[in-house]
Structure 1
Amino acid sequence: MASYTSPLCILFLGMLLWQTRETIAQRRAYVARELAGYSPQIRKFHLKVQYASATRLCHTKSIVTINGEFPGPVMYVREGDTVVVKVKNKVDYNVTIHWHGVRQFLSAWSDGPSYITQCPIQKDQSYTHKFKVVEQRGTLFYHAHVSWLRATVHGAFIMLPKADAVLPYPKPAAEHLLYLGEWWIDNVEDVVAEALSVGGGYKPSDALTINGQPGALYNCSLSDTTVFNVVRGKTYLFRIINAAVNFQLYMSVVGHSLTVVEADAEYTKPYTTNVLVLGPGQTTNVLLTADQQVGQYLMSATVFSPTPNPNVVPFPGTPTTAILRYEGAKTLLSSPSELALPNFPAFNDSLFASRFTTSLKGLSTYSSGFTLPQKVDKEMLFTIGYALRPCSTCNLSTSPDPHFRLQASVNNVSFLEPTSTSLLEAYYYNVSGAYDDDFPSNPLYPYNYTGVGPSNFFPVKATKVKVLEFGESVQIVFQDTSTFFFEGHPIHLHGTNFFVVGEGFGTFDAAKDTPKFNLVDPPSRNTVGVPSGGWAAIRFRAVNPGMWFMHCHFDIHTSWGMSMAFLVKNGQGVNETLPPPPPNLPKC
């Protein structure tokens, strides 16, 4: 990687990562604006949340963006840097920005989830985030953390390793940045509002996207298909971000293997595959060698939805596509039928997904401030699944009684988001009544979670947090349940990485499954895919004081309440106490 003291190299890197349809002048202006003129220790950015016009699928609409760009501007920093970001809100919605996967060591006030660590930024107001990139390097991203605004409010957050660091894989010839996402013809905020008002499902997106473009298989999209240029014989690093709102995705490139070398900004042992599996919020760096004949090859992504049939959770049936174009190949694609699509597993092939995730091995048992706990102080079992709540105004056609709304829960608690203060402020200022600190470590009424479910589908609707003492080693087993139907869940934890030590199908059996845990080389992640009808186990150490959100990264499930928060208390030593809030923290 190039050093900050080599502006031409930084410019070259920015040009490679920027969308191909933008001009070189635009790329050069952005890199100069964000990286030139600052010391190697401080990176300053200005993000304006603003409206912009966008045309997709033959329709033009106004969308919420960062700096008028979709996807948003790429932010380059280096391990050890202090990052200062002023966020200005110029739209009619309340906004927060979350730095997904950034550890936020002693900077919980900058994490960003609405009503958890801060109140939202109201229209015409601003908030300045300040945090240090501590022992992290790799590909992450930032996104809105209010309602479903992140559908168009997101961008890459690239943490370059220290200048003298040695990469654990061959240095690539160049890099490309690839976002996976979704697109609605309707206003996405209207989509979620309608879903919550009727109490049932939601309108699925109209298209999947690569770098914001649906690709050649969708109407009015051929000429805007994203193109990645390569030279035969060279190897490239692709930084892949799943910014989709509600879907896990397969991703593949016709005729080319992909070697995973990083997942969620943590190095992995090299793993070569033809198909990637990424949950929303997950990032993956892969090496691709341009070893085929000169020509054009389709890159594609399609939905992985481990449900009984596609009618249970509707999704876009048409894959999104981009083009891998070799130097010397013809530059025009007159019809999508000219190129073959990749061969994907079945849309609900949970066994394939499990083989992929369990094949990822970590390079180290140290991750961002702690070593993999071989023994744990606190063991927890979190059941995750669907539920119902009474609703006199709902019209839920899938229910035996229309006067109920769909909910989701963790240990039968459906999270109630506060509105008058953030949880972190309530903790810091000792505000009574803002939350209860009695979130259950285990289900209150155990049963066969993957067998016949209970007759009572009604969760507790409450604002509950789980208290962790500083330094505690924690194990959580996430258990999918059979309530209504099985579904996989990408669970994201703020404020720390964790090691994924095991996963399996069926109901977790501690006596049988714990001895099979991988305590040698498990991957370190910030988002874990819990298998449909199965379980996943994670371990971490609570060494970052603050209030940390944990939620399903399907936004519809978070909207229904599949979330909770951990309160990590202060320790006694140096750098073990939450600092006071900044003076410009937004007010509710």
Structure 2
Amino acid sequence: MLVKEATYTRLCSTKKILTVNGKFPGPILRAYKGDTIYVNVHNGGRYNITIHWHGVKQPRNPWSDGPEYITQCPIQPGGSFNQKIIFSTEEGTIWWHAHSDWSRATVHGAIFVYPKPGTSYPFPKPHHEVPIILAEWWKKDVMEVLEEFVRTGGAPNVSDAYTINGQPGDLYPCSKSETFKLSVSQNKTYLLRIVNAVMNEILFFAVANHKLTVVATDASYTKPIETDYITISPGQSMDALLVTNQQPGRYYMAARAYSTNAQIGFDNTTTTAIVEYNTGGTTSSPLFPYLPSYNDTNAAFNFFGSLKSLAFGSTEGVPKKITTRIVSTVSINTFPCAGNQTCQGPNGTRLAASMNNISFLEPNTVDILEAYYYYINGVFKKGFPNSPPYLFNFTAQGLPLMLQTPKTGTKVKVLEYGSDMEVVFQNTNLVVGLDHPIHLHGHDFHIVGTGFGNFDEEKDPFSYNLVDPPLRNTVTVPISGWTAIRFKAINPGVWFMHCHFEQKLLPPPPHMPPC
């Protein structure tokens, strides 16, 4: 993979963006379940870069996981890193992306993991497969967007457009001729491999007059569900079957944001592509699909709640006896404005975020994984708390200002190998309530429960689904609500969100990038 700048024209403007192999979105990686592949990443750009293989569990090999200053130092301009990618139980669609600053806005692409040779899908084999990469576009350089909101402490500028396979679609200026078109034959089955590579927005997605049958999420098979639309959060991937059983014609596929808080600006535009039957009837204007309203929480979470695991090829099962439970708040916070800064957060503050009132402080000289492996002190501290340090009505409105300022720290949670884990993410309405997509590196997990209001440890576990909960790597914690996940900690290493240090790791490759 060669990371470099390339020139692209979108929305009547031309600019250089960071790409991989000159493509936006980047190239598709293809592998079979259980394969090990090597990807040499060369940084030909102006900024530090890392690449994360989102959803690849990398058993005993966190060295190639990719998050900056967590498992590696960044690849500096002109440098290279040969990454070992170990596939294990994944089967379906996942993706790769930059894991440094905002580079992932343009540095990303899909990963297709096929069944092992000699085996097959748990559904009829589709006639064709089609990547559908949902992303976004700024007329500004994305690094300028990053620098501005870091400097001001406010929210980032919203994008100027969403894109499907790199194109905004014909509802935007100057985009009609380049709109992505999918030419289809009648009465065929197309496997749409969908990735949400958008930075911040959850999206609704649909195809006019066509049902979608969801068969996998985050490279794990689901019980097939037929639906008019899907909800997909940043970081999530989905496999959906599209059967072309309508009258020949032209039909929009479209995506737009699901956003629940009117105080937070978001891109309220709609990106489109066209499904075009190749048997005639293609001269009329495309029909537009039904998409739920941008603030329709019931529509979003009714879809999430309909997903059930097929348990096909699963080796872990749902933990029943929990050995460790973590309840963690997920909050938007503020820090006081320091010195001569101009801060654009509420009441002249700087925006931040926290889990259990700790705003993560990223190391910048040695990454956490190497600090653990080589016994380097002072890089991180153990003791991420098992429960919120302050108990209050987390989902109340108008919470006291004294609760808004978190502590800072580089805290990790140490888990014993084989622990049966439950993590409950409790959303709060501090500063502003939002839906939060949470991604765990190194493990898939079962989403056993979701609800609104404050999590009740005595009552809510009785409503858990411990039979066929969806197996995912990214979960959406609802606004003013909570989500519970379970997994077995059987992949030793340092993983973003939490870590386990017990079993011996593979040694670091000799070519790790220097800090």
Q: Which residue of 2 aligns with 1:498?
A: 445
Going from structure 1 to structure 2, the CA distance change for 1:332 and 1:461 (only over 3 Å counts) comes to farther
CA contact 2:248–2:282 (8 Å) conserved in 1? no
Which structure 2 residues correspond to residues 474-489 of structure 1 after superposition, within 5 A?
474-489=421-436
Amino acid at match of 1:155: G
Q: Deviation of residue 163 (structure 1)? A: 1.2
Q: Distance in 1 between matches of 2:296 and 2:85?
A: 40
Q: Deviation of residue 170 (structure 1)? A: 1.4
1:184-239 deviations in whole A, cap 9, x for unaligned? 00000110110011111111000000001000000000000001111111111110
SS across alignment from 1:223: coil
Q: Deviation of residue 371 (structure 1)? A: 2.3
CA contact 1:394–1:405 (8 Å) conserved in 2? no
Q: Distance in 2 between matches of 1:288 and 1:447?
A: 46
2:260 to 303, 306, 326: 306
Q: Deviation of residue 268 (structure 1)? A: 0.1
Q: Which residue of 2 aligns with 1:133?
A: 87
1:520 to 452, 467, 474: 467
2:25 to 71, 74, 92: 71
1:329 to 276, 280, 283: 280
**Percent identical:** 47
Q: Which residue of 2 aligns with 1:89?
A: 43
CA RMSD of aligned residues (A): 1.3
Q: Which residue of 1 aligns with 2:59?
A: 105
Whether 1:215 and 2:169 are equivalent positions in the alignment is yes
Q: Which residue of 1 aligns with 2:323?
A: 377
Q: Which residue of 2 aligns with 1:570?
A: 502
CA contact 1:365–1:371 (8 Å) conserved in 2? no
1:521-567 deviations in whole A, cap 9, x for unaligned? 000000001111111100011111111013xxxxxxxxxxxxxxx12
Q: Deviation of residue 75 (structure 1)? A: 0.9
2:365 to 395, 413, 420: 420
Q: Deviation of residue 153 (structure 1)? A: 0.4
CA contact 1:297–1:324 (8 Å) conserved in 2? yes
1:56 to 6, 10, 31: 10
CA contact 2:184–2:278 (8 Å) conserved in 1? yes
Q: Distance in 2 between matches of 1:186 and 1:330?
A: 39
SS across alignment from 1:511: coil
Q: Deviation of residue 396 (structure 1)? A: 3.6
Q: Deviation of residue 395 (structure 1)? A: 3.2
CA contact 2:135–2:198 (8 Å) conserved in 1? yes
Q: Deviation of residue 246 (structure 1)? A: 1.1
Q: Distance in 1 between matches of 2:62 and 2:2?
A: 22
Which structure 2 residues correspond to residues 177-192 of structure 1 after superposition, within 5 A?
177-192=131-146
Q: Which residue of 2 aligns with 1:17?
A: none
Q: Deviation of residue 454 (structure 1)? A: 3.7
Whether 1:348 and 2:295 are equivalent positions in the alignment is yes
Amino acid at match of 1:326: Y
CA contact 2:59–2:442 (8 Å) conserved in 1? yes
Amino acid at match of 1:375: K
Q: Which residue of 1 aligns with 2:356?
A: 411
CA contact 1:366–1:372 (8 Å) conserved in 2? no
Which structure 2 residues correspond to residues 229-248 of structure 1 after superposition, within 5 A?
229-248=183-202
Q: Deviation of residue 359 (structure 1)? A: 0.4
Q: Distance in 1 between matches of 2:290 and 2:48?
A: 42
1:377-400 deviations in whole A, cap 9, x for unaligned? 001111001111122244344523
SS across alignment from 1:353: helix
Amino acid at match of 2:296: D
Q: Which residue of 1 aligns with 2:245?
A: 291
1:399 to 341, 346, 361: 346
Amino acid at match of 1:371: G
CA contact 2:89–2:313 (8 Å) conserved in 1? no
Q: Which residue of 2 aligns with 1:20?
A: none
Going from structure 1 to structure 2, the CA distance change for 1:319 and 1:328 (only over 3 Å counts) comes to same
Q: Which residue of 2 aligns with 1:42?
A: none
Q: Deviation of residue 273 (structure 1)? A: 0.7
Gaps of 5+ in 1: 1-46, 551-565, 572-576
Q: Deviation of residue 438 (structure 1)? A: 1.3
Q: Which residue of 2 aligns with 1:318?
A: 269
Q: Distance in 2 between matches of 1:237 and 1:92?
A: 37
Q: Which residue of 2 aligns with 1:360?
A: 307
Q: Deviation of residue 455 (structure 1)? A: 3.2
Amino acid at match of 1:430: Y
2:388 to 443, 447, 459: 443
Q: How many residues align?
A: 512
Q: Distance in 2 between matches of 1:388 and 1:538?
A: 28
Amino acid at match of 2:514: K
Amino acid at match of 2:253: M
Q: Which has a greater percent of helix?
A: 1
Tell me the TM-score normalised to structure 2 length: 0.97
Q: Deviation of residue 131 (structure 1)? A: 2.8
